[in-house]
Amino acid sequence: MNPLYFEAQFATSADALRQLPDTSEVEVAFAGRSNAGKSSALNRITRNRKLARTSKTPGRTQLINYFHLGEESGRYLVDLPGYGYAKVSRDKRTHWQKVLGEYLVKREPLKCLIMLMDVRHPLTDVDWRLLEFILGEREGPELDLHILLTKADKLSRNKANAALHATVKELESASVSASLQLFSALKGDGVADVHAVLDRYFN
């Protein structure tokens, strides 16, 4: 594991692209369907239970949240609003979709998107819509994709591995290039693997 990620600290929140840090050099963003365990994963990866707010209510993350890895280093972990179901107004949901879409398509410092999916329900319709949007609309450098199949502790090891292999095959059939892994925020399984992915961009 890399202790760099244990130093992550909140930097800023944004509700529009114009509010994003203009000194950013490298960003790795975390996105997931509402209630996929995104905040819990970020907190486990950074060993900071208070870094990203967790809630039993889907859609708690309502802004783009930046966490710096060393002040003025230009390196950030980015927590994106959950997509899909959320107990918010239609106007707010439409706004999120617009901002999230613009960020994923236009943000130059963004090098990798880590998508989180519940291992029991991977590649839902909204997951596919996001993947297809990114692959079809992304401007500039190609965006690397890494998928965390979260809540792996909810399944036996055999069933979790079976879900992983099935997801790999489904992505390959759709010609989607992505790396995948199992992850459990509860038990900490897979944290070292996530750190290894982050090291590609921050070391």
Q: Which fold has domain 3-202?
A: Rossmann fold (3.40.50)
Is the per-residue pLDDT at 43 higher than 70? Answer: yes
- Angle CA(119)–CA(122)–CA(128) in degrees, nearest 5? 155
CA separation for the pair 133, 97 (Å, rounded): 11
Strand partners, 117: 149
Kindly report the pTM of this predicted structure: 0.92
* Helix, strand, coil in percent for the chain, rounding step 5: 40, 20, 40
Virtual CA dihedral for 107, 11, 37, 18, nearest 10 degrees? Answer: -30
- Contact 60/85 with Cβ under 8 angstroms? no
- Angle CA(79)–CA(81)–CA(82) in degrees, nearest 5? 110
Q: pLDDT (tens digit, 9 = 90+) per residue, 144-196?
A: 999 999 999 999 999 999 999 999 999 999 999 999 999 999 999 999 999 99
Q: Please count the residues of the chain.
A: 203
**Residue 93 pLDDT:** 63
Q: How far is CA 152 from the centre of its chain?
A: 16
Question: Which token pair is 17?
Answer: 């692209």
Q: How is the chain split into domains, by residue range?
A: 3-202
- Angle CA(93)–CA(98)–CA(102) in degrees, nearest 5? 145
Pairing of strands 26-32, 110-118: parallel
Q: pLDDT (tens digit, 9 = 90+) per residue, 59-113?
A: 445 789 999 998 878 999 999 988 865 565 666 667 767 888 899 999 999 999 9
- Of 177, 167, 101, which Cα lies nearest the Cα of 134? 101
